Structure 1
Amino acid sequence: MNLVRSLYDRWQSRLHEVTAFGVIGGVNFLLDLLLFNLFYGVFGIPSLTARGFATVLSASSSYFMNKHWTFRGRNDNDRRREVILFIVFSAAGLLIQWGFLGMFKFVLGLDNIFWANLGNIMGVAVAMFFRFWAFSKFVFLQAPPAEETAEREKEPTPV
């Protein structure tokens, strides 16, 4: 019975993270899509550059939302490491998105707003799964168990 309860507790926490990440992802996807279309469709910025600008802005929004909602119960002792890894994995997600845009533009020769948006949506979807995995595994780390924290506090600090 304890096994069933522990599995439920573990997956309940993960379900919260997946749901919150999905909601935040949806909000930032809309922001990203709006910015991409504004930069590419309205201002005439080339699609790959527009993708970069839109990703930087929406990823910044995503960091703060995920930090304070999706992964709020996780350890944040090393904010510098967290931000650096967030940027690295967001950049890797951007490369995934550029790959889809580049496939439509350079490989298939389809370079208009419709195909750019289709490649954009496909790239965002694949990058979203990658980012959830990377953020939950490497960026927003689980807080150590209470016993481990208590043991560390009892140890004398080196001088």
Structure 2
Amino acid sequence: MPSPTQRVLAKVPGPLRPILLQHRSLVKFLVVGGSCFLLTLVINYGLKLTVCQNKPVVALTIGTAVATVFSYILNRQWSFRSEGSHKEAIPFFAVSALAVGVNDLPLLVSRYVFDLHTPHVSNFTQEVCDFLSGMIVGTLVAMAFRYWAMKKFVFTTRADPASPRTAAEPPAPVR
């Protein structure tokens, strides 16, 4: 039975398949990131509409932190296929803690530097600014930071069985 990845790849137009296969860890990372974005969105607005009505940065931070744990599990098991011990957990959560700050920064600037909150602006404007600064700009900047930092500092040894060569094989000569 084909894996879910193989079933999805079978539906991708032929010319795109080699590109996706060449950048498979990035594609998987983006799928995990999209799932975590939705999880963050649900938790953020669930908290903002209930117990954190006057604390949007706290709601975003909690949503991002919960999604980070989910992200760790999926990235470790799927995106970067880390094998062996959980030695990357400490650097993962260190990078993720920095990324939570990166994610929160645009919302903090929007709310408290530009005063884009009630009573200075309408409730609708406040919510649009919160969404754009916290969920969109913050997520995009934090995503770029996370991808770079995860590849550079956390998941430095990958074992991907779908890879055309193993780590023990030397790279093909350049012609």
- Same fold by TM-score greater than 0.5: yes
Distance 2:73 2:22 in 1: 19
Q: How many corresponding residue pairs?
A: 135
SS of aligned partner of 1:146: coil
Q: Residue in 2 aligned with 1:106? A: 112
- State how far apart, in whole Å, the 2-side matches of 1:14 and 1:51 are: 34
* Aligned AA (1:35): I
* 1:28-60: CA deviation from partner (whole Å, max 9, x where unpaired): 101111111111133325011111110111001
Distance 1:113 1:60 in 2: 26
Unaligned residue ranges in structure 2 (runs of 5+): 1-18, 118-125, 160-166, 170-175
Aligned-pair identity in percent equals 30
- Give the structure-2-normalised TM-score: 0.70
Match of 2:49 among 41, 45, 65: 41
Contact 2:80 2:158 survives alignment (8 Å): no
Aligned to 2:26, the other structure's residue is in SS state helix
Aligned residue identity for 2:144: F
* Residues 36-45 or 117-126, more deviating: 36-45
The runs of 4+ residues in structure 1 deviating greater than 3 Å are 11-14
Matching residue's letter, 1:64: I
Residue type of the partner of 1:128?
M
Secondary structure, in 3 states, of the residue corresponding to 2:88? helix
Residue in 1 that maps onto 2:129:
115
Q: Contact conserved, 1:41 with 1:113, CA < 8 A, in 2?
A: no
Once residues 132 and 13 of structure 1 are traced to their aligned partners in structure 2, the CA distance between those partners, rounded to angstroms, is 17
In 1: Cα distance, 2:110 partner to 2:22 partner: 35
Q: What corresponds to 2:168 in structure 1?
A: 146
Shift of 1:78: 4.2
Coordinate RMSD, CA, aligned? 2.1
